[in-house]
Amino acid sequence: MKAKKRFLYLLLGPTILVLCDLFLSDILTNPGARAVGVLLWMVFWWVTRPVHMTVTALLPILVNALLNIVPMGSITAQYFSDSIILIFGSGLLTMPWASTGLDKRVAIKILSVIGPSMRSQIIVWLFASMLVSSILPNVAVCALFTPIAIAMLAAAGITDIKSSSHATPILLAIGWGVGLGGVGTPLGGAMNIAAISFIEEYTGHEFMYVDWVVRIAPYFVLLGIISLVLMLVMYGKHSPLDGTKEYFHDAYAKLGKMKRDEKICGTLFVIALLGAFTRPLYSNLLPGLAPAYIFLIFGCLSFIITNAKKLPFLTWENAQEKTMWGMMMLFGGGLALGRMINDSGAGNAIAEIVSQMNMDGGLTTIIIFTVFARVISELTNSTVAAAVSIPIVIGFAVKMGLNPIPYWFITVMAYNAEFLLPISVRAIPVAYGLDTTKMLKGGIPMTIVTTILVVIFGYVVMQIWPGFGELSYM
């Protein structure tokens, strides 16, 4: 980025805050106007990138220290909340996969069923990305699958990724698939944990993961089918790759039988995963053992249990190097921003404005919430979209005397999709050579179709499924 343009973007950020303070204070109150100013400032910097996204995520602390918008303790606490602990713990749990080879075994086993046609390539890469990212962070899945895809393309004689008509749909299937898969379970990414933290605060009860899976499963299936059909229409007629299936069969055969260390890592992950999803069975017996602490406990076992070489699976030095600290801070910044919007009164003020738009909680309301969440997700990432949109949705529903649970689920569906810009998880395939213009061109119809799907599905299930708006403790 040129120095003049960067300086302009740096200057426009705080200018946005000042303008909000001057012109929105009468509508949102002074703290609320400043909170919205911080929101718009962060969105602008996340899009234009005059500084790293992680630096932008620290703005709630920096601005609040100067303007005292809300009590500082409520802001700083978001950077090491239970949600951050869950992300940290799951990272510790999966880090040893790389050293033991379990990560490659899982990925190659999934992909060994791929055939040579472009249709089969799209089917397997899209569904593999969606399914695996439903239980692992999107960034981790994309970072794992993308280099494997690049190796496969190289084996097929394709090295110019940017101009290859074969590479584009494969890398898009991964980049888009991991974003779509995040909605499958609460473990799909930080954005889901953020949404859960807000609904737990509203209800005063622990959110049971099984509630998520039961209500999201029908949408998840429809989303996969419709996304696949659209991708096949756009890219399915490309000529086939040669040797793809054989490449993965050979690669998997070279791994040999599953080794002791792989079995141990896999077992720890499966037990932690089962512990998170069977939480309702023991919540009364162990009220403090929330999923965040289950993953942290089993993640810390990686420092204790030894591998075949009699060394711990994980050392702190290795964990410190591989932990995605920036992603955790980005997530914490999103939560802090959401807290600032809430505690400043901006959320209630915006909900009041929205409530005067002649919305009754019906189709128009669903459309507005869906588009709002999707726009923020596309401009920044789904974590920020969750932190910004969920408090407003809950505030509106409460203000209108509506049950916020169904609107919460619909908003979760809305922000769990990213197609257009090379930011967030989409930056990974771009870093490997994917043409950003092709991503934008293909992403437009994907965005339109999936947004319509959320609106239609949300509206229909609210009419025909009373249990959609209920949770286990209700």
Q: Are residues 2 and 124 in the same domain?
A: no
The answer to whether residue 64 is domain-embedded is yes
Q: Are residues 449 and 364 in the same domain?
A: yes
The answer to whether residue 474 is domain-embedded is no
Q: Give CA separation, 127 vs 80, 213, 223, 285, 363, in Å.
A: 33, 17, 11, 37, 30
Q: Are residues 28 and 103 in the same domain?
A: no
The pLDDT of residue 327? 67
Q: Are residues 241 and 150 in the same domain?
A: yes
Angle between helix 138-155 and 244-255 (nearest 10): 110
Q: Are residues 37 and 94 in the same domain?
A: no
Q: Are residues 12 and 25 in the same domain?
A: yes
Q: Domain count for the chain, please give it.
A: 2
Q: Are residues 89 and 122 in the same domain?
A: yes
The answer to whether residue 116 is domain-embedded is yes
The pLDDT of residue 107? 66
Q: Are residues 29 and 71 in the same domain?
A: no
pLDDT below 70 — which residues of the chain? 107, 110-111, 113-116, 137, 139-140, 144, 155-156, 241-245, 277, 327, 351, 354-358, 379-380, 422-424, 472-474
With the C-alpha atoms ordered 196, 197, 199, 200, is the resulting torsion angle positive or negative?
Answer: positive
Q: Are residues 304 and 384 in the same domain?
A: yes
Report yes or no: 125 and 173 within 8 Å, Cβ to Cβ: yes
The pLDDT of residue 423? 65
The answer to whether residue 191 is domain-embedded is yes
The pLDDT of residue 456? 95
Size of the chain, expressed as the number of residues it contains: 474
The answer to whether residue 77 is domain-embedded is yes
The pLDDT of residue 473? 62
Q: Are residues 96 and 182 in the same domain?
A: yes
Report yes or no: 147 and 432 within 8 Å, Cβ to Cβ: yes
The pLDDT of residue 385? 79
User: pTM above 0.85?
Assistant: no
The answer to whether residue 463 is domain-embedded is yes
Q: Are residues 323 and 435 in the same domain?
A: yes
Report yes or no: 468 and 462 within 8 Å, Cβ to Cβ: yes
Q: Can you give the residue range of the structural domain that contains 399?
A: 52-469
Last residue of a domain, one of 51, 67, 91: 51
Rounded to whole angstroms, how far apart are CA atoms 180 and 426? 12
Q: Are residues 18 and 61 in the same domain?
A: no
The answer to whether residue 2 is domain-embedded is yes
